[in-house]
C-alpha cells in the first residue's frame, strides 16, 4: 500500500469528521439519519483499518490452537463449525466458548465499542 500522505486512514477520518462536524448539524430528517449512518460506517472502517488485522491474526492463532492444524481464516472457521457440528469439539467446550466469546467481543469492538461499556 502506498505511504503517500494523506493515507487511506487519514482520508477516511477526514470524510467522517466533515460529515459529523459540518453536514450532520445542518440537515434534518432522512438526510440526517443517512448522514449518521455514513459517519458510523466510516468509523467502522477506521477501526477495522487500525485493529482488524491484529484481531484476525489473534482469531486465526486461537483457531490453530483449537484445531491443531493450519489454514487461512475462512478455512479454519469452516473447520471449527464442522467440528462443532460433528461433536469433535465436545471435549473442548470451554476453550471453544472462550474463542467464540473473544471473537464476538472483537467484532463488537469494531462495529460499535460503546456496546462493550456496561450501562449504569
- Give the pLDDT confidence score for residue 61 in this predicted structure: 98
Count of domains in the chain? 1
pLDDT in tens, 35-48: 999 999 999 999 99
Residue 118 has, within 13 A of its CA and on its CB side, a CA count of 1
pLDDT band at 96 (very low <50, low <70, confident <90, very high): very high
Classify residue 120: in a domain, yes or no. Answer: no
Locate 97 and state its grid cell: 466458548
Classify residue 3: in a domain, yes or no. Answer: no
- Residue 2 confidence (pLDDT) above 80: no
- Rounded distance, CA 83 to CA 88, Å? 5
Q: What percent of the chain has pLDDT over 90?
A: 94
pLDDT band at 1 (very low <50, low <70, confident <90, very high): low
- Give the pLDDT confidence score for residue 119 in this predicted structure: 84
**Backbone dihedral region for residue 112 (phi beyond 0: left; psi -120 to 50: alpha; all else: beta):** beta
By residue range, what is the domain housing residue 22? 8-112
Classify residue 82: in a domain, yes or no. Answer: yes
Average model confidence (pLDDT) across the chain: 96
- Rounded distance, CA 7 to CA 62, Å? 31
Classify residue 21: in a domain, yes or no. Answer: yes
Asked if 21 and 79 count as a contact pair (C-beta separation under 8 A), the reply is: no
The CA dihedral of 99, 40, 17, 20, to the nearest 10 degrees, is -150
pLDDT band at 120 (very low <50, low <70, confident <90, very high): confident
Closest CA to 70 of 60, 56, 55, 82: 60
- Residue 105 confidence (pLDDT) above 70: yes
Amino acid at each position: 500500500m502506498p505511504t503517500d500522505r494523506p493515507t487511506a486512514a487519514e482520508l477516511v477520518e477526514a470524510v467522517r469528521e466533515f460529515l459529523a462536524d459540518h453536514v450532520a448539524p445542518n440537515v434534518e430528517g432522512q438526510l440526517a439519519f443517512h448522514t449518521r449512518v455514513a459517519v458510523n460506517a466510516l468509523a467502522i472502517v477506521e477501526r477495522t483499518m487500525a485493529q482488524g488485522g491484529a484481531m484476525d491474526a489473534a482469531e486465526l492463532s486461537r483457531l490453530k490452537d483449537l484445531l491443531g492444524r493450519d489454514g487461512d481464516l475462512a478455512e479454519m472457521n469452516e473447520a471449527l463449525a464442522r467440528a462443532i457440528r460433528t461433536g469433535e469439539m465436545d471435549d473442548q467446550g470451554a476453550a471453544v466458548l472462550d474463542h467464540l466469546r473473544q471473537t464476538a467481543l472483537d467484532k463488537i469492538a469494531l462495529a460499535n465499542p460503546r456496546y462493550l461499556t456496561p450501562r449504569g
